[in-house]
Amino acid sequence: MRFAGKTAIITAAASGICRATAVRIAAEGATVACIDVSTAVSETVEAIRAAGGKATSRVLDVTDRAAVVATLAEIEAKQGPTSVLINGVGRSSAGKGGGEFCDSDPANWMEVLDISLVSTMVICRQIVPGMRERGTGAVVNISSVSWLMPTPTFADYAAAKAGVVGFTRVLAIETAKHGVRVNAVSPGPIETPATRRHPPETRARVMSTIPMGRYGEPEDVAAAILFLASDEARFITAQNLVVGGGRGIV
């Protein structure tokens, strides 16, 4: 029960890594506000409540800044000041085609940057000042090994996720003296609804780059996120923890 009496906000909580994180942090005592653009986020809350945990859901487009400000204010008014913030939203433009960078559409870059980087900055801007004033808080931002192990056609996503790490490190240094810790986690290939749709040849190619020889599970990343968010990591800040089975090693 590392998070007994604490409150958490988790974005992208409808599925995958952040759903697993929300379920686990609630099981360890936190009251959790689960945010996602998908209405399926309510299913995460149902799972938490069925296990005896406390959670609420909000459907939110994190690129709508006015809605972000209003929603986060509402959450904190109802469940109290935020102890733990986990930013998990991210999306590439690979599904829209366009191929390599020189053939890509600049409009797609801006969408990816807004979703995968700017949303993290905007949410932190709303929550972290309160943590700083209270002298306590933990933030974990989810990046990706995509910026450590470059993959063709993912230039915009790699740029955004590299930006998440850079932003994390600066914010961590600025808030360290105020008792706030800010870290990042960079997952490698993980079994999620999105990766399960990959064709066999894609999975085989990706698998060949993972020294441990398998895709990770969302729970593998959730464990790393919760460690960094917990008091066990009280002397760790400004770090990026790669959870990729050896992929993206530096």
Query: Which residues are designated catalytic?
Result: 157
Give the Å distances, CA to CA, from 115 to 111, 122, 137, 160, 246: 6, 10, 24, 9, 27
Place of tokens 């379920």: 23
Question: Residue 173 is which amino acid?
Answer: I
Q: What is the β-pairing status of strands 137-142 and 84-87?
A: parallel
DSSP-assigned letter for residue 130: H
Residue type, 61: D
227/230 Cα distance (integer angstroms): 5
- The full length of the chain comes to 250
**Half-sphere exposure of residue 249: CA atoms within 13 angstroms, side-chain side:** 7
How far apart are alpha carbons 43 and 60 in whole angstroms? 15
Q: Which H or E run contains 139?
A: strand 137-142
Q: Tokens standing for 151?
A: 């993959």
* Closest-CA residue to 8 (of 167, 142, 131): 131
Q: State residue 80 phi and psi, 5-degree precision.
A: 95, 175
